[in-house]
Chain A
Amino acid sequence: MNGMYAGSEVVQLLRRQREETQEALNHADGLVARHTNDSAELARQYDQARYDLATALLPQLDRPWLQRAIQLTGYTPFHHQDPIAGRDAERATLQAQLAQIDADPRYAQRELHRHPRTGTLFVKREELLGHRKPWAEVLDAAQHERLERLLEVGYGTDAYDVPFWRLSYYQDWEAGDQILEKFPGKSGFGEVRDEVLRARETVSTFDQELDTLNREISAGAAIEQQRDQVAQALASVDQRWLDFARVRMVEHLMTVDPKVIKPMLASDPNLQLLYLRASGMIAKGRYLEAMVGENAGKMRQALPEQLQKIDRDIAKFSRPKNLNAWWPRDVIDRRTKSRRDRYQKQFQRFETNYHTVYVYDDWSRARAYDDFVWWYLMTDGRVPGHYIPEVAVFEQHHPEWAQGLPAADHDDWDDSAAAAAIASADDDQTRSVDAS
């Protein structure tokens, strides 16, 4: 029928639309997954950039280098929380602890007392264990669930007064005989009883001595362990304080507005470039996250709802009365219009823009502007970034940038020097930090 669709045709059109929507959702999921991988790689690159910047800013922790770093970064807290003084104080404390431990006889005579084979404490312990052994064997042989009772009621002695009409009398008798069998040389349980009581006292005396010895051995081991820890702390004190100072300064650099920091570092162009690289990389991470959220992320929220709606429509048009009815073609065409091209364009645009930001590495470009956001430099101002808070704020203060990237404020930078600085840092990635 002209101008009309049968219900079954409508269902077919809806199914096609569902496939397109599902494809788009899968595509959006794929983009998010790829971004997760990219983020890990960016994080690694950013760590390297921070390390390069920190190493160039403060190659070693001494007064001239620290003064220079404070001057360049404006990080004044180190004027009153002096990391050099902190390091020297910790070193002095650790050295004093080490000297105290070294003078402690438990440590000084550790070989004499605690050598595993010849140490006096170990030798004495072996002797004690040797003397204890035969007495412990007596106790082992006498082990019986009724032994304690037999000792308690004086079985085998004149004090035993359990009468023969009690069951316990016979159980004592049986248990006594069983224990006695383990002592072939004894003629009665009374002798076993004396032997067991003597063994208990002797083992207890040895155990007290062994306990004292074991405590001495443990205390000696603990002091050796403590010395290892102090020595380790002393060996790493320079590096730890250097790392501490670097981390604090780089954190400061990364949290202050680049337009403030960039001119402060102008006197050291290489350092300035390393700073711009780290600053640009952290901005890149924020931008890509925002781009994914704005595009693929929003699609991942919206498309499942669309799928549900299409499913409801498919169910509705599949009912027998609708399946055999006729539906106006213009209405159904509007309702089932293909969205594939629209989705593809949206994805292509997103992927192009994402790629542009992801591969950006022209860090020296920021030198040409007194005030900037990396977004404009990375995209040449050709990609709307109003959904990124820092871009939106910047555009409020610099409406002229919204028309496109303006002319540079300065054009006097030698790009070959910039490239050399980055290359130098890259070559130096595996260099260990000078801890002297």
Chain B
Amino acid sequence: MNEREGSQRLRQIFEAAGCSIVEGFRLPLAAGEVSLDGWDPARRIGYELITTEAGDRAEFTPEVIAELEAKMRAAELFVFLVDEANIPSAGILERAAGRFLAQLRKQGALA
């Protein structure tokens, strides 16, 4: 899968779980503003494919990632980070995203 295909698939999965996804959402952070592949501003849930293909590795610096993860640990927001060197097959991506959303439901972050 390429980034575009992966992003489309994730949008379908997240929307099927009840999210209202905005693509290319600009999220302001202390470490700098970043553009997220998919983001539900109301639920503060989204996803990001950190790939070289889209130049994300330059934007998602270790400082940005650290800030995002700190906010996730504090349950302020949740971003599913596709952090592997290559985007996996559709099946793996679907299973992983499904488990991520199930975890959010379990935590009460998603109805």
Contacts and interface: CB of A to CB of B under 8 A. Distances in A.
B78 A171 contact: no
A167 B93 contact: yes
Interface string B76-89: 00111111100010
Given A170-B95, A170-B99, A174-B92, A165 B79 contact: yes
Nearest to B49: A167
B96 interface: yes
Contact of A165 (B78, B88, B92, B93): B78
Given A170-B100, A171-B88, A165 B80 contact: yes
Q: Interface of chain A, helix or strand or loop or mixed? A: helix
A170 B96 CA distance: 5
Contacts of B67: none
B72 A167 contact: no
Residue among A165, A170, A174 with max Cβ neighbours from chain B (10 Å): A165
B81 A165 contact: yes
B92 A164 contact: no
A171 B93 CA distance: 9
A163 B88 contact: no
Contacts of B95: 170, 174
B41 to A, nearest CB: 18
B81 A166 contact: yes
B23 interface: no
Interface in A136-175: 163-171, 173-174
B19 to A, nearest CB: 15
A171 B99 contact: no
Interface in B45-78: 69, 72-73, 78
A145 to B, nearest CB: 12
Interface in B13-50: none
Contacts of B96: 167, 169-171
Contact of B80 (A167, A171, A173): A167
B103 A167 contact: no
A163 B107 CA distance: 14
A168 B69 contact: no
Given A170-B96, A170-B100, A163 B72 contact: yes
A173 B81 CA distance: 16
A186 B85 CA distance: 31
Contacts of A163: 69, 72-73
Nearest to A173: B99
A171 B86 CA distance: 12
Nearest to B77: A165
A144 B93 CA distance: 19
Interface string B90-111: 0011011001100100000000
Nearest to B65: A166
Given A174-B92, A174-B95, A167 B84 contact: yes
A328 B85 CA distance: 94
Contacts of A167: 80-84, 88, 93, 96
Nearest to B102: A164
15 contacts: A163-B69, A163-B72, A164-B103, A165-B79, A165-B80, A166-B81, A167-B84, A167-B93, A167-B96, A170-B92, A170-B96, A171-B84, A171-B96, A173-B99, A174-B95
Interface of A: 163-171, 173-174
- A-B pairs, top 5 by smallest CB distance, nearest first, are A170-B96, A167-B82, A166-B81, A166-B83, A164-B103
